Structure 1
Amino acid sequence: MSESKKGQNQLNIELPEEVAEGTYSNLAIISHSNSEFVVDFIRLVPNVPKAKVKSRIILTPQHAKRLLRALADNVKKFEAQFGVIDEPEQPPFPPMSFNTPKAQA
């Protein structure tokens, strides 16, 4: 492949410092419509009755499916390297009530 074609296929992704630091989340709430998926990332703190959404990501259904496959692949690789991730039988946080149908992850 010529050098000019290689340059055309590369994507230059900028990672600002404040984004590179990341945001911790220990709960994700997922909802969807016919045209998009919304993933709200939340940080729950023990003994604090209120939690805030720290980040919201909105995806097309196609991108949500690609993300699902990428996460599954990465979990498989993680478990191959570090062992099976244990999932508690019961969530570590009290049940929450929302007005719209959602799934937790």
Structure 2
Amino acid sequence: MEQNPKKQINIELPEDVAQGCYSNLAIITHSSSEFVFDFIRMMPGIQKAKVQNRIIMTPEHAKRFFNALEDNLKKYEEHFGKINLSGKGMPNIPLHFGDGTPEA
């Protein structure tokens, strides 16, 4: 009996995407059908921050992402030591999107 070979996916990494995008704050929101990850770069002394990238996932893909991140954090800490978080959670900074005008 012949085993089915695993399918291979070729993934292209364009040069502009390969440079990456630095983020030191992520805001996650969700609805019943999707999770929205907004990645933000906060600069010291600057009152306005810009969303650098927005990733939208289905709940199933968000769960897979969570599991992969959890696994990678565990491996990181086994190799480099525990990651210590300073403070508790997000700083108490009010976050506002856009100009404050409500939109439907």
TM-score interval, smaller chain? 0.7 to 0.9
Report the aligned-residue RMSD: 2.1
Number of the residue aligned with 1:11: 9
Q: Tell me: higher relative CO, structure 1 or 2? Use CA pairs within 8 A at least 6 residues apart.
A: 1
C-alpha displacement at 1:47, in angstroms? 0.2
Match of 1:52 among 50, 53, 59: 50
What's the offset of the Cα at 1:95?
A: 1.2
CA distance in 1, matches of 2:32, 2:56: 13
Alignment of 1:68 with 2:74, yes or no, is no
Distance 2:9 2:94 in 1: 40
Residue 85 (structure 2) pairs with residue 87 (structure 1): yes
The 1-side partners of 2:73 and 2:52 are apart by 23
TM-score by structure 1 length? 0.82
1:31-54 deviation digits (Å, cap 9, x = unpaired): 000100000000000000000000
- The percentage of counterpart residues that share the same residue type is 53
Distance 1:90 1:55 in 2: 25
Q: Paired residues, what number?
A: 96
Structure whose residues are more often helix by fraction: 1
